[in-house]
Chains A and B, each alone.
Chain A
Amino acid sequence: MFHNSSQKKYWIFKSEDELEHMRCKANQKFRNKALESGKKPGVSESMFLQRHEEDVLFRHYERRLLEFCNAFKPTMPKSVVGTALMYFRRFYLSNSVMEYHPRIIMLTCTYLACKVDEFNVSCTQFVGNLVQETPAGQERVLEQILEYELLLIQQLNFHLVVHNPYRPMEGLLIDLKTRYPTLESPESLRKTADDFLTQAAMTDAGLLFSPSQIALTAILNSASRAGLNMESYLTQCLGLKEEKETLSKMYDSMRRMKTLLKKYEPPKLEEVNISKQRLERIHAEFASSSK
């Protein structure tokens, strides 16, 4: 369960600033490493990616990951997608995109998520989904995936179980139907709540809030969109009538989450291309030197 999981202990952080701090540290670490490893000609500080460029790339490859999972044959369950996204996010919390190319890491995350979530695909079936590659190319990609798999697990600190908000959402809907007759058709909230959850997976919400909180926010959000008031659910059914403090804290978190979602903007194509070029350059420079 979530309350005694490694996710709650190690991978829930206090604020977005903390996350940003960790990412900057990762960036800096790579810079130091690259500069130390040899004063090659043509290497300068300006070559390295800035934080916002890294962000752009991260978001771009996240979208690619989502598209890959959605186009996956056989159909990938939502929890696997969620797990893969979470792995991706956690990995780049302590590593820089300059050091490990997100293209490979994204596939490794998905592969590992399939294994962990017991969604059985053989490795050949997995790389068979990369339709734009030749079979030989797929083989090469598979080799790379297998190379990076252990590294990924290590960087996740071997905490492989990820609690996604999909089941809590189901649970809340069941609870609503049972104990909250004021709301006539909770099923109508499902679609919007689902979209909310997908959007939330593309933000840092998973690293700041528990999955049940995310699910609750999703439902309340879609209820308010439909013009329904669900305050009484919180006070009556969840027993928070007396606990004013807890209630206010919960509203606070929900507001923060909604802000996070609003802040998210899909990456722009030109920016992505520029950053990608620079990334390729960096990888070409440093990958060959590190080998």
Chain B
Amino acid sequence: MKVIKFQHRSCFKWLLRGCSLPLPPKTGSEYYTRPNVVQTEMDEQGCPRCKTTKYRNPSLKLMVNVCGHTLCENCVEMLFVRGSSNCVQCDTPLRKSNFRVQLFEDPTVDKEVEIRKKVLKIYNKRDFDFPSLREYNDYLEQVEDIVYNLTNNVDVENTKLRMEQYQRENRDVIQRNKAKLTREQEELEELLLQEQQSNEQRRLEVLQEEQRQLQAKRKNKQALLDELEQSQLPATLLLAQHKVRAAQLETQIEQQKQAVKPTSLFSTGIHMRQTVSLQPVTKIEDVLYHYRPLQVETYGPPVPELEQLGRLGYLNHVRAAVTQDTAGGYTSGLACYRAIQDAFSGLFPLRG
């Protein structure tokens, strides 16, 4: 059973984003302010100390520390003014520098993510470092065990000892892999930069386009005013000309907006140039449907029709419907009809 390691590029990207290597710290202390990726309800997540939520303070940022408990930015500032204090919920001694902005809804996940990063810095072997798949999987399981132990505070001492031992034994392998990793990270960095740049460019272009359009409009208006001042033609004619020019400008702008890049694929996945057979669909001949009214064998004399009951005099012998009954759609004919039907159903003996 192959363990599918999540080695997709985006994983590295993400690790890169969270990694403390090439990106310089943005402020004096080393916590990173990144836009909060989490999409929680505004009302739910709150600081356990001051109880404000995103609802009350939309720019609130929750920070997580190594013990797995959250605090909002303001509370961090207030409590850790000295630089180190104890956690509000679990009383472990903490440092202000260890606070990271919360990425995930569950703070324990954040904690695990941090631990994992640290562990993976040491345990950074790759799949081609192992002679067989089985050994690679065993190694991965080791790593997971360590992360689990550290996250859930199980056997922390021994785990740390194990980590140190591994580090000592595989020092050169770790170095080699680190170097490789930096190379990959650089490549990814470049890609990211390129993406950012192209995004910026597009944005600028759009802005420029808008500016140009605004300018053109303004020029048009100014031209009208100038003409009204200087030209000999009557004002109405000038206004009409101006209107025409303005309309032309509008259509130009519209056209530019509509200049969408032509695609080659329909949304259903069919290619644009694909030819479809225009042969007529084969006709299916079937027997024509013929309506035959339903015949029911009642084993009794024929029952008069519901509509005929009044005319035939049956309804004289049934209790008349009160206005309350008729409101619901009841008529005395219905009860009469049912009684007659029941009386005649199965009256004659069965054949044979």
Do the beta carbons of A3 and B345 come within 8 Å of each other? yes
Are A171 and B342 closer than 8 Å at their CB atoms? yes
Query: Shortest Cβ distance from B312 into chain A, in angstroms?
Result: 7
Nearest-Cβ distance from residue A235 to partner chain B, whole angstroms: 12
Chain B residues in 8 Å Cβ range of A239 = 301-302
The distance in angstroms between the C-alpha atoms of A211 and B336, with both chains bound, is: 17
Of A2, A4, A215, most B-chain CB atoms within 10 Å: A2
Give the number of residues in B that approach A within 8 Å (Cβ atoms).
26
Is the pair B342, A246 in contact by a Cβ cutoff of 8 Å?
Answer: no
B297 within 8 A of A: yes
A167 at interface, CB cutoff 8 A:
yes
Shortest Cβ distance from residue A198 to the other chain B in the assembled complex, whole angstroms: 18
Q: From known contacts A163-B342, A168-B343, A175-B340, infer whether A3 and B299 are also in contact, taking CB-CB under 8 Å.
A: yes
B313, A171: Cβ atoms closer than 8 Å: no
- Whether A177 lies near B317 (C-beta < 8 A) is yes
What residue of chain A has the Cβ atom nearest to residue B347's Cβ? A212
Given A174-B336, A178-B312, A213–B341 Cβ distance below 8 Å?
A: no
Q: A178-B312, A178-B314 are in contact. Are A211 and B297 (CB under 8 A)?
A: no
Any chain B CB within 8 A of the CB of A170?
yes
Give Cα distance in the complex from A49 to B39, angstroms: 78
Best-surrounded residue of B296, B301, B348 (most CB of chain A within 10 A): B348
Q: State which of B298, B301, B342 has its C-beta within 8 Å of the C-beta of A167.
A: B342
A171 near B340: Cβ-Cβ < 8 Å: yes
Contacts of A170 in B (CB 8 A): 339, 343
> For B300, what are the chain A residues with a Cβ–Cβ distance below 8 Å?
3, 212
Q: How far apart sit A258 and B206, CA to CA, in the bound complex (Å)?
A: 102
Contacts of A6 in B (CB 8 A): none
Closest to B318 in A: A174
Is the pair A171, B317 in contact by a Cβ cutoff of 8 Å? no
Asked whether A174 lies within 8 Å of B317 as measured between CB atoms, the reply is yes
B344 within 8 Å of A (CB atoms): yes
Among candidates B296, B312, B313, B316, residue contacting A4 with C-beta atoms closer than 8 Å: B296
In the bound assembly, the distance between CA atoms of A250 and B348 in angstroms comes to 7
Besides the contacts A168-B342, A246-B348, what 7 more A-B pairs have beta carbons closer than 8 Å? A170-B339, A174-B340, A210-B346, A210-B347, A212-B342, A212-B343, A250-B348
- Give 6 closest A-B pairs by Cβ, nearest first: A171-B343, A210-B346, A171-B339, A177-B317, A249-B349, A168-B343
26 A-B residue pairings within 8 Å (CB atoms): A1-B341, A1-B342, A2-B346, A3-B297, A8-B346, A167-B338, A168-B342, A168-B343, A171-B342, A171-B343, A174-B314, A174-B317, A174-B339, A175-B343, A177-B316, A210-B345, A210-B347, A212-B345, A212-B347, A213-B347, A213-B349, A216-B347, A239-B301, A246-B348, A250-B347, A250-B349
The residues of B with any CB-CB pair to A shorter than 8 Å are: 296-302, 312-314, 316-318, 336, 338-349
